[in-house]
Amino acid sequence: MTPRQRFDKPIVMIGRFLIVLFFISILSSGVFHYALASAVIFSDGFEEDFSNWTGDDVKWTTSGTSSATGVHGGLRRAQVTGATDPGDDVLLKNVSTADYQGIKLEFWYRIYKGLEDEDHIYIEWTGDGSAWNILKDFTAVGDSTSWEFVSYNLPAEADNKDNFAFRFRAHLGAASSDIFYLDDIVLYGDGQNIQATLTPSPSPVPSPTSSPTVLVSPTPLPSIKPTPSPLPVGEATPTPLPSPVKLSVSSTPAPTIIKTKITSSTAPAPTVKENAEEEFQEEPAGAGSLSASLVNLMGSNSFLLMGLMVVAVVFSLAKFKKD
């Protein structure tokens, strides 16, 4: 293995890991939220007859069979057979939906013997135990050779109700030619308390607040202003130098140079100081604009853009490795 291959291998491994982590974070935001929020309020496959139900009329019975089409799951099913006159035969379940919302009812059914226009299998629900609402009406349906699945989203009036109930109401005319099979009933709901714990999930949003910390970096820049302070030292030096000016005759020509420096520096010294102050006053403005551009650049990048950049870098490295 060449040194280049030894160098590229860990980079490729890290890139693949980042890609997998990126996609996992996206999927977890939706999949795990749904998995944690949904809960089963009630379910029954009629393996224990109607022991889990509030009421069952005479025409509703349970039956077991070894046939693959006889039951959907388990060993038993529920069924209703005509005629139901006088009156209707009802299979009833009272169950509270308190602290739940987004109620959903699902079940499997099969029309073993076709239903005519005057035959009806009503699926109904109530939020107060008295006013019933029709969710579905099975009527004028022919024979079915296999089980069919249905799912119904109930309106918001079914949410958080202590007296919630649902029922299957049969109104069948023929004595033996109207048969309806029922199996694997599930009532779902989204727990309000669970969603309350998940609402803090947008907490990563405050993370951009840390980006303004970049503004702190320009604050040390004004410390450059004290650097012109040594310039006034040059102003202090001229004060003791007038005395050496008199001794310039006996000393080396160096004092003459000092004199020329003193005379030339004393007059424009204020201008030099002003220019220095102007230069140093202009530097914070440039630094401020640089920090502002950095903040805007960092604020404009989103998490998705960063992920796409990581993917682009990894594929570039992989292509470079092949070349």
Residue of 236, 307, 288 lying closest to 266 (CA atoms): 236
| Per-chain mean pLDDT for the chain | 72
Q: Which two tokens stand for residue 163?
A: 């007296």
Q: Which two tokens stand for residue 27?
A: 């999927």
Confidence of residue 247 (pLDDT cuts 50, 70, 90): very low
Q: What is the pLDDT of residue 85?
A: 84
Q: Which two tokens stand for residue 150?
A: 């249905």
CA atoms within a 13 Å half-sphere pointing along the CA-CB vector of 102 = 12
**pLDDT for 40 beyond 80:** yes
- Alpha-carbon distance of 22 to 15, in angstroms, equals 11
Residue of 209, 153, 198, 245 lying closest to 36 (CA atoms): 198
- Alpha-carbon distance of 37 to 186, in angstroms, equals 16
Q: What is the pLDDT of residue 66?
A: 67
CB 37 within 8 A of CB 100: no
Q: Which two tokens stand for residue 199?
A: 């609402």
121-125, 147-151, 206-210, 250-254: which has the minimum mean pLDDT?
250-254
The rounded percent of the chain whose pLDDT value lies above 90 is 42
Q: What is the pLDDT of residue 251?
A: 40
Q: Which long-range contacts (CB under 8 A, 24 or more apart) does 122-126 make?
A: 122/168, 122/169, 122/170, 122/171, 123/152, 123/166, 123/167, 123/168, 124/166, 124/167, 124/169, 125/154, 125/158, 125/164, 125/165, 125/166, 125/167, 126/163, 126/164, 126/165, 126/166
Confidence of residue 314 (pLDDT cuts 50, 70, 90): confident
Three-class SS of residue 247? helix
Three-class SS of residue 126? strand
Residue of 40, 32, 36 lying closest to 193 (CA atoms): 36
Highest mean predicted confidence (pLDDT) among 81-90, 164-173, 241-250, 295-304:
164-173
pTM passes above 0.85: no
Q: What is the dihedral of CA 81, 55, 63, 149, to 10 degrees?
A: 80
- Alpha-carbon distance of 304 to 315, in angstroms, equals 17
Per-residue b or e along 218-229, where b marks 16 or more CB atoms closer than 10 Å to that residue's CB:
beebeeeeeeee
